[in-house]
């Protein structure tokens, strides 16, 4: 336990930032007081601070851009894997939504009609649900009479609306 010199409260050491020179290895003000002080200081000196940042950027523009480029190169594979994982998750959720919206009473012939509709579409067309599977106040079914083939641009422009 330590007293904060800002609010004069006795607080746990975890309430203070680490400080090598500070007593007990922590700062003399708690994290909350430090945050209030930093916000107040920024508001009082906002113009000066922004000018300093702008000047620093102008003086070190090439170095900053080179560091950004190196970071993009270094993290390219991570971002690629993250996007692939996000796409895989999106596809899995879409498949799950389709499965949960497909009624169990649907006959084999009706399921064939759905597959035929997907097979009949062209590359620049989407199979769209007339009543959305996940709509506001309504939940459509994944059945052949609720499906239509639309041009991709039209389907993407309408979103999840009826």
3-state SS, the chain, equals CEECCCCCCEECHHHEEECCCCHHHEEEEEHHHHHHHHHHHHHHCHHHHHHHHHHHHHHCHHHHHHHHHHHHHHCHHHHHHHHHHHHHHHHHHHHHHHHHHCCCCCCHHHHHHHHHHHHHCCCCEEEEECCCCCCCCCCCCCCHHHEEEEEHHHHHHHCCCC
Both 86 and 152 in one domain: the answer is yes
Both 107 and 153 in one domain: the answer is yes
Both 54 and 19 in one domain: the answer is yes
Residue 91: give the domain boundaries: 76-158
Q: How confident is the model at residue 110 (pLDDT cuts 50, 70, 90)?
A: very high
CB atoms within 10 A of CB 29: 20
Higher-scoring residue by pLDDT: 53, 24:
53
pLDDT tens-digit readout, 114-131: 999 999 999 899 999 888
Q: Is the pTM of this model over 0.75?
A: no
What φ, ψ does residue 151 adopt, rounded to 5°?
-60, 145
Both 85 and 48 in one domain: the answer is no
Both 82 and 144 in one domain: the answer is yes
Both 141 and 86 in one domain: the answer is yes
Both 57 and 109 in one domain: the answer is no
**Domain count within the chain:** 2
Q: What is the pLDDT of residue 162?
A: 62
Both 68 and 90 in one domain: the answer is no
Q: What is the pLDDT of residue 34?
A: 96
């Amino acid at each position: 336990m330590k007293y904060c010199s800002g609010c004069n409260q006795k607080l746990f050491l975890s309430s203070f930032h680490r400080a090598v020179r500070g007593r007990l290895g922590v700062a003399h003000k708690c994290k909350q007081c430090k945050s209030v002080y930093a916000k107040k200081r920024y508001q009082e000196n906002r113009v000066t601070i922004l000018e300093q940042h702008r000047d620093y950027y102008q003086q070190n523009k090439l170095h900053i851009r080179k560091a950004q480029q190196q970071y993009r190169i270094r993290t390219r594979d991570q971002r690629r894997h993250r996007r692939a994982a996000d796409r895989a998750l999106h596809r899995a959720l879409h498949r799950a939504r389709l499965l949960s919206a497909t009624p169990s009473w649907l006959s084999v012939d009706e399921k064939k009609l759905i597959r035929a509709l997907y097979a009949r579409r062209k590359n620049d067309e989407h199979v769209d649900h007339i009543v959305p599977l996940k709509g506001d106040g309504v939940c459509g079914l994944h059945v052949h009479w609720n499906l239509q083939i639309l041009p991709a641009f039209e389907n993407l422009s309408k979103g999840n609306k009826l």
